[in-house]
Amino acid sequence: MRELAICMYCDTVHERIDVPVRGVARCTNCRRPLYHGNTDLGAMLAVTITATLAFVVANTFPLITLTSGGFQTEATLWRAITASYVQDLPAVAVALAVTLIVAPLFELGLLLLVLVPLCLRTRPLGFTTIMRLMHVMRPWRMVEVFLLGVVVAVVKLAGLAETVPGWGLFGVAVMTLALASLASFDRGMMWRRADELGKLAR
Ligand SMILES: [Zn+2]
């Protein structure tokens, strides 16, 4: 059966062809990316697990340790968020919480719910709903932008006190890289695998 790929920018319909692993299929009309060539679900699961572990590290360990006038404070992600809120920066606090905690948590949780069963060759429960949710969450994926914000904040603080980077910062960096790499996988592969498994079950 012929498989179709529709450009989400201009609605042009294409026939699906195989693309090399690091390649991208582009729309013939608007040249924007149609789908990616990386279809290895096992690798995608591995990257998702890495990102989840990094997420836990980022939320558990201090981002930086500050020493000033004999006092030592450990700045965790949570403390950075509550501090921004207390200092009359509620918008910053909400943006930090959504992009660094809520959005990655949702995305990684949903991906695991789909990828673990798919890799074990069973069709995930509520597959269509989860895929739709992930699509809706897409605009919130901008961890990269906020990593920059964290770096700027650390540099600013370094001028005020003696700062030592912590494991939390390492966690944020790894999580950012892993989430960015997840974007290079072909999500259509999840639909095709679920389809195959659905047919086998019938
Ligand atoms: Zn197009």
Q: How far is the CA of 156 from the centre of ligand 1 (A)?
A: 43
Q: If DSSP codes are grouped into helix, strand and coil, which group holds residue 168?
A: helix
Q: How far is the CA of 114 from the centre of ligand 1 (A)?
A: 28
Q: How far is the CA of 34 from the centre of ligand 1 (A)?
A: 8
pLDDT, tens digit, 9 for 90 and up, residues 1-45: 677 888 889 999 998 887 777 778 899 999 998 888 777 889 999
% of the chain exceeding 90 in pLDDT: 24
Q: Which residues have their alpha-adjacent CB atom under 5 A from ion ligand 1?
A: 7, 9-10, 12, 27, 29-30
Helix (H) or strand (E) holding 26: strand 24-26
- Contact yes or no for 99/176 (Cβ under 8 A): no
CA dist., res. 177 & res. 171, Å (int): 10
Beta-carbon count within 10 A of 11 CB: 10
- Contact yes or no for 58/108 (Cβ under 8 A): no
Helix (H) or strand (E) holding 25: strand 24-26
**What pTM was estimated for this model as a whole?**
0.77
Length of the chain (residues): 202
pLDDT, tens digit, 9 for 90 and up, residues 103-153: 888 889 999 999 999 999 999 989 999 999 888 877 666 666 666 767 777
